[in-house]
Amino acid sequence: MKRSKPSETKLTICVWHPFTEWRPNALMAEAIRRRWPEMRVVHLPDYDLLPRELPDTDIFVGYSLRAQQLAAARKLQWIHSTAAGVAQLMYPELRDSGIMVTNPSGIFSLPMAEHTMGLMIALARNFADSVRQQDKSRWSQQDLWDQPQHLTELNGSVLLIVGYGSIGREVAKRARAFAMRVWA
């Protein structure tokens, strides 16, 4: 990839997602403009104006770029996906294009590991049914125990992790703190 000067570079940021936290804040574009004032930085709040901006875009920051959009992006050299996963970008036209694709790999490892551990504890202790019984003001210790999925402990359990990437490694660290045996 030929490296261009910031003054010769257009960066287009475009992500729209129903979950607002996945949409890049306009402050990100402002920070890039302050760091590289000569670079042309375009921040789009949705995909409506993307067709107009793509033809002279060098760097695209976003979650997705479809094959027909890629065809219009004649100068594109780099796509930075805002999602850790990039399966939505792995279509033949992009794979064969020579365009560099990067992602924020590992960015969600800690919250996903914590969420995973929280769910394992919730399942082991049957929090869902416990809360339902509490909401009904019922003392139902025996009923909870008699359910097919008995209350259990994580301590000493075997945790099988399929996929030992950044998330799997973080889950393993936390599982070991619960004295779980980890197989990955």
Percentage, residues of the chain above pLDDT 70? 99
CATH architecture of residue range(s) 109-183: 3-Layer(aba) Sandwich (3.40)
Question: What does the domain layout of the chain look like in residue ranges?
Answer: 6-102, 109-183
Answer whether residue 83 shows pLDDT above 90.
Answer: no
CB atoms within 10 A of CB 8: 12
* Distance between first and last Cα of the chain: 37
Instruction: Give the distance, in angstroms, between the CA of residue 131 and the centroid of all CA atoms in the same chain.
Output: 30
Q: Which residue has the higher pLDDT, 24 or 115?
A: 115
Summarised one tens digit per residue, pLDDT across range 131-141 is 888 899 988 88
pLDDT tens for each residue of 154-175 = 999 999 999 899 999 999 999 9
- Judge if 6-102 and 109-183 fold alike in CATH terms: yes
pTM summary value = 0.74
Fold of 6-102: Rossmann fold (3.40.50)
**pLDDT classification of 84: cutoffs 50, 70, 90:** confident
